[in-house]
Amino acid sequence: MTRATDFAITREELLGTDIEPSYSGVLSFVRRKYSRDLTHADVAVTGIPYDLACTNRPGARFGPRAIREQSSAINWGTVPHWGFDPFEELAVVDYGDCGIDSSIPEGIPAEIETHISNIIANDCATLTLGGDHFVTYPILKAYAKKYGKGLSLIHFDAHYDTWNDRAGKIEHGTMFYHAVKDGIIDPTKSVQIGQRTSIEDTLGFNVLDNQWVHNNGAEQVAAKIKQLVGDNLCYLTFDIDCLDPSFAPGTGTPVIGGLSTYQVQRILRGIEGVNVIGMDVVEVAPAYDHGAITALAGASLALDMLCLFARKQDAKK
């Protein structure tokens, strides 16, 4: 009997988990079917291999590929501590990557926005694999066009990414400044977690910096997030440098004193029920990784995000 493999291309049903060797086969995110057909899909996983907005070390363009590779090792059905298999409840496809013409960098933001807009126009959410953190800005613009402005942002990061900036710049440390100024996100109903750099103006964001997290614990962080965002529509963005470099060395701008992978997983489980409409994991740069632990963290947290999405307030059942 020949064992079935390559479920990324041979899978027929979108629901369910099929196991194949982690060391072989066509790589998609957690072996989901590669497809641009979103007719029956609840979530599309898509990569944005872009890192031209980096201010320190480049290399996050290789993040989507590295995350997909490590995700093959966590395709076992029930997700620990969530207690269920999200793929039994959500129809998830791997939509592939956003096509980017790096020879015309000024056109890239519009390419990303159009790519995401085409997905969510099908009433399908996105789980995006970056790429540097700038990619979240055009993603948010696409979501705001569909859902309206004033979204809540749940933002895990070592940095604030709200430095004052002039219009038109493409930079991975200022995009949330623009998102606030554009009215896309409401900072008073948003929360930033894990920051350990300095900034003069937080633009009204609620900040639970690294000291707050370490002093109060994951459960209190989760409770505070739920209190702050309430029932508002939420976009969840996770910069892998929110993790301490001991847990995620493979990133462009590491900062010591960060969160552990376990702390973040406890926080994500603790915010079950928030009305999340889209998610991303960004800034995985495998050239600086060791033993692929950063890419593994990115893949594992992305899987947690799918569990969170499956438990949102109005998730399909």
Confidence at 317, pLDDT banded by 50, 70, 90: very low
Candidate from 18-27, 124-133, 253-262 with smallest mean pLDDT:
18-27
Find all residues with CB under 8 Å of 243, minimum gap 6, and list them. 258, 259, 260, 261, 264, 294, 297
**Which pLDDT score, from 0 to 100, does residue 31 have?**
94
Segment 24-51, tens digit of pLDDT: 889 999 999 999 999 999 999 999 999 9
Confidence at 132, pLDDT banded by 50, 70, 90: very high
Q: What angle do CA 238, 182, 200 make, to 5 degrees?
A: 65
**Which pLDDT score, from 0 to 100, does residue 79 have?**
95
**Which pLDDT score, from 0 to 100, does residue 316 have?**
46
Percent residues over pLDDT 70 in the chain: 97
pTM score: 0.95
The C-alpha R_g of the chain, in whole angstroms, comes to: 18
Show me where the domains of the chain are located: 41-310
Q: What is the mean pLDDT of residues 63-68?
A: 98
Q: Give the pairing type, strands 206-208 and 152-156.
A: unpaired
**Which pLDDT score, from 0 to 100, does residue 171 have?**
81
Segment 247-257, tens digit of pLDDT: 999 999 999 99
The type of residue at 222 is A
Q: What mean pLDDT value characterizes the chain?
A: 94
**Which pLDDT score, from 0 to 100, does residue 94 have?**
98
Segment 218-238, tens digit of pLDDT: 999 999 999 999 999 999 999
Q: How far apart are CA 20 and CA 1, in angstroms?
A: 15
Segment 161-204, tens digit of pLDDT: 998 887 878 888 889 999 999 999 999 999 999 999 999 899 99
**Which pLDDT score, from 0 to 100, does residue 203 have?**
93
**Which pLDDT score, from 0 to 100, does residue 313 have?**
57
**Which pLDDT score, from 0 to 100, does residue 262 have?**
97
**Which pLDDT score, from 0 to 100, does residue 164 have?**
85
**Which pLDDT score, from 0 to 100, does residue 218 have?**
98
Q: What is the mean pLDDT of residues 137-145?
A: 98
Q: What is the mean pLDDT of residues 140-152?
A: 98
**Which pLDDT score, from 0 to 100, does residue 172 have?**
86
- Of 242, 311, 313, nearest to 275 (Cα)? 313
Q: Give the pairing type, strands 234-239 and 92-97.
A: unpaired
**Which pLDDT score, from 0 to 100, does residue 68 have?**
98
**Which pLDDT score, from 0 to 100, does residue 1 have?**
52
**Which pLDDT score, from 0 to 100, does residue 3 have?**
66
Assigned superfamily of 41-310: Ureohydrolase domain (3.40.800.10)
Q: Kindly report the three-state secondary structure assignment for every residue of the chain.
A: CCCCCCHHHHCCCCCCCCCCCCCCCCCCHHHCCECCCCCCCCEEEEEECCCCCCCCCCCHHHHHHHHHHHHHHHCCCCECCCCECHHHCCCEEEEEECCCCCCCHHHHHHHHHHHHHHHHCCCCEEEEEECCHHHHHHHHHHHHHHHCCCEEEEEECCCCCCCCCCCCCCCCCCHHHHHHHCCCECHHHCEEECCCCCCCCCCCCEEECHHHHHHHCHHHHHHHHHHHHCCCCEEEEEEHHHECCCCCCCCCCCCCCCECHHHHHHHHHHCCCCCEEEEEEECCCHHHCCCCHHHHHHHHHHHHHHHHHHCCCCCCC
- Of 192, 195, 196, 213, nearest to 204 (Cα)? 192
Candidate from 12-21, 56-65, 76-85, 178-187 with smallest mean pLDDT:
12-21
**Which pLDDT score, from 0 to 100, does residue 113 have?**
98
Segment 269-305, tens digit of pLDDT: 999 999 999 999 999 999 999 999 999 999 999 999 9
